[in-house]
């Protein structure tokens, strides 16, 4: 999905409590437009390096937010770089409640996102805002949202973006 459409799709999949989420983001413009030129000089000095850094930072925050919502998350190349420069796959599978280190991983992932945002001097991006609005980050220490009928209906559903 393109730009923040990826964030909307990931947020919806989390709200549905999907057991697996696959996302292949193609462009990440939101962060690029928000990073101050004074942040992380010289990376932000040159348009192309700022753009590529923003793409990696955006997908890193997306993966960490999935972890913060109780998913075991990986970011990987799914085809050779010679075919396309946009070949990152974010793969997330719902952790089992009470799995080893779950609470620690959730807290660390959210702290990592907050720390990166502070370094970049930016407010929460779309995915983090959507998850906050839905109460998913505040409730991330539990596996499921109580009273979330859509989540119950889609609990076994896999989503590919």
Give the Cα separation of 155 and 161 in Å (integer): 17
Least confident piece of the model among 55-59, 60-64, 109-113, 154-158: 154-158
Q: Print burial letters for 80-96: b (CB count within 10 Å at least 16), e (below 16).
A: eeeeeeeebbbbbbbbe
Q: What is the pLDDT of residues 11-69, one digit of tens each?
A: 999 999 999 999 998 878 899 999 988 888 899 899 999 999 999 999 999 999 999 99
pLDDT at 161: 56
What's the whole-number average pLDDT of the chain? 83
pTM strictly above 0.75: yes
Q: How far is CA 158 from CA 88, 131, 132, 143, in A?
A: 19, 19, 22, 16
**Cβ atoms of residues 6 and 161 within 8 Å:** yes
Instruction: Give me the pLDDT at residue 103, please.
Output: 85
The per-residue pLDDT for 138 is: 58
Residue 79 has what pLDDT? 82
Residue 157: the pLDDT is: 46
With cut-offs at 50, 70 and 90, classify the pLDDT of residue 100. Answer: low
What's residue 28's pLDDT? 84
Pick the residue with more confidence: 146 or 64? 64
Per residue in 67-84, pLDDT (tens digit) is: 999 999 999 988 877 777
Displacement of CA 104 from its chain's centroid (Å): 18
């Amino acid at each position: 999905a393109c730009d923040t459409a990826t964030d909307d799709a990931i947020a919806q999949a989390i709200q549905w409590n999907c057991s697996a989420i696959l996302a292949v983001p193609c462009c990440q413009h939101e962060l690029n437009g928000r990073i101050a030129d004074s942040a992380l000089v010289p990376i932000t000095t040159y348009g192309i390096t700022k753009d590529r850094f923003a793409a990696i930072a955006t997908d890193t925050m997306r993966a960490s937010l999935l972890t913060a919502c109780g998913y075991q998350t990986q970011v990987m190349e799914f085809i050779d770089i010679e075919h396309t420069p946009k070949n990152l796959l974010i793969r997330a599978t719902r952790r089992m409640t009470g799995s080893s280190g779950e609470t620690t991983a959730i807290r660390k992932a959210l702290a990592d996102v907050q720390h990166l945002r502070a370094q970049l001097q930016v407010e929460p991006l779309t995915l983090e805002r959507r998850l906050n609005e839905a109460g998913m980050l505040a409730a991330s220490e539990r596996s499921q949202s109580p009273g979330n009928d859509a989540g119950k209906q889609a609990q076994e559903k896999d989503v590919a973006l």
